[in-house]
């Protein structure tokens, strides 16, 4: 059957028509991206998408939202839209729907996309294990964390977590300085204060202070652009440090969930694909003392599917409504 798949973030809402069957995604159509600021609600954006599709849409919806899912009202992060689940059928003119957290959707994508949609980073070559917990973490505006529990013969389950809000643990003097700088701004320094898109600013400013340079007030987009272009040595050093910290955090999460496999996801994660292997990401991932050999045996991959949120929302629908 056909399903309207929607991935709603703070800045953009993405729509696509997906085909699902037997609990899995068969295909995902061409995505349409809208700016959330140009629409007053999900219903209005939905209606605009319907017009683009000729006026009618399938009567099933798979919706991923950048917010905790639950309760009578869902308020999105960095987006004034409000979603009332009880009104979805009426407002969107659908008979069946699924609502899932955006990173929970990424977990569903990890479970269902083909092996060709993964880039191997380290550990044993080959597909992700078919049994046990796979840790999924993705740096973006925040740090998304989820688990995918695979059970042979029984499919999988996605476990949504708030692992990005655990405490940041520095591992050397430079990270001690980054933590001190962050503490001067925040009451508590979580992992996502450092290992997420905006965290590059804290890293950049700390490195500037260590070098005795005047701190330039730049936003994270400017620093990421300079770092990825290779046009500024300080920004490039901040990028290297970011990758180090991401490796350490991914390793900690793997130990916490049960070390079977790790997938790096998120829009920023994909942008880092050419840098992770050249950085100290792998060294930091395995640097867990007496468990170093154990960590070296964990396959770590990067999901390269261009729309894991849309694909994952459709996969969540397919899992929730396998007989529809």
Task: Report the distance separating Cα 13 and Cα 172, nearest Å.
Answer: 40
More confident call, 6 vs 151: 6
Please check the confidence at residue 154 and state whether its pLDDT lies above 80. no
- The reply, when asked if residue 8 is annotated as ligand binding, is yes
Q: Which of 163, 137, 131, 126 is nearest to 297 (CA)?
A: 126
Residue with structure tokens 């202070």?
Answer: 209
- Its pTM stands at 0.91
Sequence-ordered list of residues with C-beta below 8 angstroms from that of 90, at least 6 positions apart, any chain: none
| pLDDT single digits (tens) 17-41 | 999 999 999 999 999 999 999 999 9
| pLDDT single digits (tens) 283-309 | 999 999 999 999 999 999 999 999 999
Q: Which two tokens stand for residue 262?
A: 């790790």
- The reply, when asked if residue 22 is annotated as ligand binding, is no
| pLDDT single digits (tens) 84-121 | 999 999 999 999 999 999 899 999 999 999 999 999 99
Q: Which two tokens stand for residue 311?
A: 């694909």
Please say whether the dihedral angle defined by the alpha carbons of residues 35, 40, 41 and 44, taken in this order, is positive or negative.
negative
The mean pLDDT value for 114-140 works out to 93
Of the candidate CATH numbers 3.60.90.10, 1.20.140.10, 3.30.420.40, 3.40.50.1820, the domain formed by 2-113+305-320 belongs to: 3.30.420.40
Of the candidate CATH numbers 3.40.367.20, 3.40.190.10, 3.40.309.10, 3.30.9.10, the domain formed by 163-303 belongs to: 3.40.367.20
- According to the model, what pLDDT value does residue 215 have? 78
Helix (H, G, I), strand (E, B) or coil at 212: coil
Percent of the chain at pLDDT > 70 equals 99
Residue ranges per domain, the chain?
A: 2-113+305-320, 163-303
DSSP E strands: which ranges in the chain?
2-8, 12-21, 24-28, 32-35, 60-65, 74-75, 82-83, 96-101, 118-122, 132-139, 143-150, 156-160, 261-264, 300-303
End-to-end CA separation in angstroms for the chain: 7
Exposure on the CB side of residue 287, measured as CA atoms within 13 A = 13
Please check the confidence at residue 77 and state whether its pLDDT lies above 80. no
| pLDDT single digits (tens) 165-174 | 999 999 999 9
- According to the model, what pLDDT value does residue 58 have? 96
Q: Which two tokens stand for residue 308?
A: 């894991």
| pLDDT single digits (tens) 207-255 | 999 999 987 789 999 999 999 999 999 999 999 999 999 999 999 999 9
The mean pLDDT value for 305-316 works out to 96
User: How many residues appear in the chain?
Assistant: 324
Q: For residue 190, give the DSSP letter.
A: B
Q: Which of 181, 186, 290, 306 is nearest to 238 (CA)?
A: 181
Q: Which two tokens stand for residue 4?
A: 């309207």
- According to the model, what pLDDT value does residue 324 have? 72
Distances (CA, A) of 263 to 9, 43, 120, 147, 310: 21, 33, 9, 10, 17
Mean pLDDT of the chain: 93
- The reply, when asked if residue 6 is annotated as ligand binding, is yes
- According to the model, what pLDDT value does residue 137 have? 94
Contact (Cβ atoms closer than 8 angstroms) between residue 208 and residue 215: yes
- The reply, when asked if residue 94 is annotated as ligand binding, is no
Please check the confidence at residue 140 and state whether its pLDDT lies above 90. no
- The reply, when asked if residue 9 is annotated as ligand binding, is yes
Exposure on the CB side of residue 239, measured as CA atoms within 13 A = 27
The mean pLDDT value for 124-132 works out to 91
- According to the model, what pLDDT value does residue 291 have? 95
């Amino acid at each position: 059957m056909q399903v309207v798949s929607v991935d709603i973030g703070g800045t953009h809402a993405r729509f696509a028509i997906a085909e699902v069957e037997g609990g899995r995604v068969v295909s995902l159509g061409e995505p349409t991206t809208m700016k959330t600021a140009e629409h007053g609600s999900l219903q209005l954006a939905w209606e605009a998408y319907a017009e683009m599709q000729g006026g009618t849409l399938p009567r099933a919806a798979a919706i991923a939202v950048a917010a905790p899912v639950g309760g009578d009202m869902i308020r999105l992060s960095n987006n004034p839209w409000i979603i009332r689940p009880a009104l979805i059928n009426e407002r969107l003119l659908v008979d069946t729907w699924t609502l899932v957290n955006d990173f929970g959707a990424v977990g569903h994508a990890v479970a269902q996309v083909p092996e060709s949609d993964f880039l191997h980073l380290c550990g044993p070559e080959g597909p992700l294990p078919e049994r046990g917990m796979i840790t999924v973490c993705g740096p973006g505006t925040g740090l998304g964390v989820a688990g995918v529990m695979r059970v042979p013969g029984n499919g999988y389950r996605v476990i949504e977590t708030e692992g990005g809000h655990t405490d940041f643990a520095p591992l050397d003097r430079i990270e001690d300085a980054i933590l001190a700088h962050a503490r001067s701004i925040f009451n508590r320094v979580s992992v996502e204060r450092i290992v997420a898109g905006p965290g590059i600013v804290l890293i950049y400013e700390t490195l500037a202070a260590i070098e005795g340079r005047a701190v330039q007030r730049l936003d994270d987009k400017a620093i990421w652009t300079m770092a990825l272009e290779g046009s500024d040595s300080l920004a490039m050093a901040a990028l290297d440090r970011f990758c180090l910290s991401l490796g350490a955090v991914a390793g900690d999460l793997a130990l916490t969930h049960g070390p079977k496999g790790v997938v790096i996801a998120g829009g920023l994660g994909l942008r880092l694909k050419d840098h992770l292997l050249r950085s100290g990401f792998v060294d930091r991932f395995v640097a867990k003392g007496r468990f170093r050999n154990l960590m070296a045996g964990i396959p770590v991959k990067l999901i390269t599917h261009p729309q894991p949120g849309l694909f994952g929302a459709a996969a969540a629908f397919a899992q929730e409504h396998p007989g529809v």
